[in-house]
Amino acid sequence: MAEIQITFPDGSVRTYPSGITGMEIAKDISTSLAKKALAIKVNDEVWDLTRPIERDAKIKILTWEDPEGKMAFWHSSAHIMAEAIEYYYPDVKLAIGPPIEQGFYYDIDFGEHKFTPEDFEKIEKKFLELARSGETFVRKYIPKEEAIAFYKKRNNPYKLEILEQIPDDTVTFYYSGNFVDLCRGPHIPNSKVIKAMKILNVAGAYWRGDANNPQLTRVYAISFPSQKELKEYLHKLEEAKKRDHRKIGKQLQLFSFHEEGPGFPFWHPKGMIILNQLKTFMRKRLLQLDYEEIQTPIILSDVLWKRSGHYDNYKENMYFTSIDDRDFAIKPMNCPGSTFVYRSQQRSYQDLPLRLFEFGLVHRHEPSGALHGLFRVRAFTQDDAHIYCTPDQIEQEVIQLIHLVFDIYKIFGFEKVNVFLSTRPEKYIGDLAIWEKAENALKQALEKAEVNYTIQEGEGAFYGPKIDFVVHDSLDRAWQLGTIQLDFSMPERFDLNYIGADGQKHRPVMIHRAILGSFERFIGILIEHTAGNLPFWLAPIQVAVLPISDALIPYAEKVAQQLQKFRVIVDRSSETLNKKIRNAETQKIPYMVIVGKKEEENNQVSLRKHGKGNLGVMDITAALEVFENEFDPLK
């Protein structure tokens, strides 16, 4: 038999007979590895451990520690779950069942039956029973004709549609237990390693993600090699739930939502402090960079929106009204308004770049099913700005912007930022030459700012290329915040111009940009990022003075007086000290200043830090100094 050379990840090479399987190689290395092995990577392709390797290859045995190992594990779990579901509901039609980042799902047409959480338990039980029985996953090559006949007999239009799109004459099927599925694989060798599984939820999902197609039931689940890992995962889910900004917003009395205004947040006094602090902060930064602030109307004539193109492209998302028999629209974006400020006087090349920023309140008719706390609302305030410049100025402007964006994210503790450059799509407006110039300017800017970025070919807007900024929060979830979008359309539509050094009229380029995106959404992200423990400068109440008894209220007020440059409250309730501390802690107030007789006698306070505990007794001035040393970008 021919021999082949197998190269391992560490670079070492071993010789094996051709046709050896991954499992045999794993066993050759060590029995413990063979036990843990789930799949094998063969020259960048993930294979079953039972599949014969016939040529020289670079391999890596995959275990639960490898993302690809997890994928195979969950993919196989999806098959077992489908088998369990078919056991109880033999008439279901399976569509697709892939692994995902956290677990797996199977899209299933349940016909008449409504699959609900009541079904979960019995499916989970059956699943574990099947997994424990030690099912093997056997890969078989089936002629496509045979596969089609198989699914025709089973009356499964979904699998037939998938088959139609496979060009090959032979397709692969996987057999495990009583289950058969058209599947590319790879799978784990034996189901015994799956020790724990939980169905997480069910949801409707369109076949092939198209809203015109029938809706299937998507069953989400996750599985693990041990019960312990499942427990930990469920615990993590709960922790994430605790950080939900909707919940914390309610607990801390920051904002609320009401039936009377779906998608329209009500900001309470404490939330307003955060909102205003953010605005003050952003305003200060922008004014330092030669931006000028403007404010444009919320309601503007529909003539304007027809001219801007929003009426044709964005009508579905706009609200309309009328005034004295004339038609108006509520602005969904600030850009058209900004152009009026630009046009209010003849601009010269010496005026450029002109940087106009607006904390613009926009309204958008989001589909009802899309609303989600502060993350997706129907009214929000963008930290918007429009920069009017010459094509030659794009690069320097974008460099400045990139630095600004990174500076600002850093202040909120967003250190990991991914940057994406989206280039010209198939449908676009404007000259090819200016597109190329603009895209090059963006690339140059990114490179000069020494930013790593990913190009998203063809993902730009029809009116210009753009750069997007995605940050990662403390739970490593990704959030798109900032965007820098070049626009060749708006200057054209509104006939914007400036007089160049040559005395002739020229067309400026418009740069739309937002850094936080929307203040409302950003606060939601910040709450989840910090679990509601906002930094000192953003905390609605910074210090709570807690008198040990009613008799100490006068001294508490005297102390509060001396701390008045901070947002300070005095707890005058006739509760025990323990209760007052508990209340301040649950309200996530950064500092507690505790005063009793002893402190009063020496003009001192006892300081306690939220989440940390007692910092000890000190002079009032020393406490003041502690607060003054807290980070404050507004100083």
Partner RNA sequence: GCCGUUGUAGCUCAGGGGUAGAGCGCUUCCUUGGUAAGGAAGAGGUCGGCGGUUCAAGUCCGCCCAACGGCACCA
- The answer to whether 77 contacts RNA (rule: CB under 7 A) is no
- Nearest approach in angstroms of CB 256 to RNA is 8
- The answer to whether 603 contacts RNA (rule: CB under 7 A) is no
β-pairing, 498-499 vs 347-348, is parallel
- The answer to whether 155 contacts RNA (rule: CB under 7 A) is no
Candidates 592, 620, 623, 624: give the one binding RNA (CB under 7 A): 592
Question: What distance in Å separates the CA atoms of residue 188 and residue 204, rounded to the nearest whole number?
Answer: 29
Candidates 67, 90, 503, 611: give the one binding RNA (CB under 7 A): 611
CA separation, residue 198 to residues 218, 219, 478 (Å)? 14, 11, 25
Stretch near RNA under the rule CB under 7 A, chosen from 182-190, 232-240, 279-287, 360-368: 360-368
Candidates 467, 596, 623, 624: give the one binding RNA (CB under 7 A): 596
What torsion, rounded to 10 degrees, do the Cα atoms 240, 242, 247, 251 define?
-150
Beta strands in 424-579 (DSSP E): 454-456, 466-472, 478-487, 498-499, 505-506, 509-518, 543-547, 568-570
Query: Nearest 5°: phi and psi at 239?
Result: -60, -40
Both structure tokens of 60: 């890596």
- The answer to whether 619 contacts RNA (rule: CB under 7 A) is no
- Nearest approach in angstroms of CB 333 to RNA is 6
Angle at 213 (CA atoms; ends 212, 214), nearest 5 degrees: 125
CB of 522 closer than 8 Å to CB of 278: yes
Interaction residues for RNA, span 258-277 (CB under 7 A): 259, 262-263
384 given a catalytic annotation:
yes
- Nearest approach in angstroms of CB 490 to RNA is 7
Stretch near RNA under the rule CB under 7 A, chosen from 22-30, 73-81, 160-168, 596-604: 596-604
Residue number with CB closer to RNA (173 or 314): 314
Candidates 96, 130, 193, 202: give the one binding RNA (CB under 7 A): 202
- Nearest approach in angstroms of CB 556 to RNA is 11
Candidates 33, 362, 371, 622: give the one binding RNA (CB under 7 A): 371
Please count the residues of this chain forming the interface with RNA, following the rule CB under 7 A: 69
Candidates 125, 598, 602, 603: give the one binding RNA (CB under 7 A): 598
- The answer to whether 582 contacts RNA (rule: CB under 7 A) is yes
Strand-by-strand arrangement of the 568-570 sheet: 568-570, 543-547, 591-595, 604-609, 613-619
Stretch near RNA under the rule CB under 7 A, chosen from 44-52, 54-62, 411-419, 455-463: 455-463
Residue number with CB closer to RNA (410 or 597): 597
- The answer to whether 125 contacts RNA (rule: CB under 7 A) is no
Please, which contacts does 608-615 make with residues 24 or more away whose CB atoms are closer than 8 Å?
A: 608/581, 610/533, 610/584, 610/585, 611/533, 611/585
> Given 70, 277, 310, 335, which residue is catalytic?
335
- The answer to whether 96 contacts RNA (rule: CB under 7 A) is no
Q: How many contiguous H segments (helices) and E segments (strands) does the chain have?
A: 20, 36
CA separation, residue 1 to residues 56, 58, 163, 340 (Å)? 14, 20, 36, 80
CB of 55 closer than 8 Å to CB of 40: no
14: Cβ–Cβ under 8 A, 6 or more apart, which residues?
Answer: 5, 6, 8, 25, 28
> Given 70, 245, 382, 587, which residue is catalytic?
382
- The answer to whether 368 contacts RNA (rule: CB under 7 A) is yes
Residue number with CB closer to RNA (114 or 403): 114
Question: What distance in Å separates the CA atoms of residue 24 and residue 32, rounded to the nearest whole number?
Answer: 13
SS3 380: strand
Using the CB atoms, write b or e for 180-193: b if 16+ within 10 Å. Answer: bbbbebbbbbbbeb
Please name the amino acid found at residue 616: G
364 given a catalytic annotation:
yes
- The answer to whether 238 contacts RNA (rule: CB under 7 A) is no
Residue number with CB closer to RNA (59 or 607): 607
466 given a catalytic annotation:
yes
> Given 443, 466, 513, 529, which residue is catalytic?
466
Closest to 230 (Cα-Cα) out of 40, 63, 73: 73
382 given a catalytic annotation:
yes
The contact mask relative to RNA for 547-566 (x = CB under 7 A, - = no) is: -xxxx---------------
- Count Cβ atoms within 10 A of the Cβ of residue 173 and give its class: 0-12 exposed, 13-18 middle, 19 or more buried: middle
Could you list the active site residues?
335, 364, 382, 384, 386, 466, 512
**Which residues in this chain contact RNA in the complex, by CB under 7 A?**
114, 116-117, 201-206, 209-211, 215, 217-218, 244, 246, 250, 257, 259, 262-263, 308-310, 313-314, 333, 335, 366-373, 376, 461-463, 548-551, 573-579, 581-582, 585-586, 592, 594, 596-599, 606, 608, 610-611, 613-614, 617
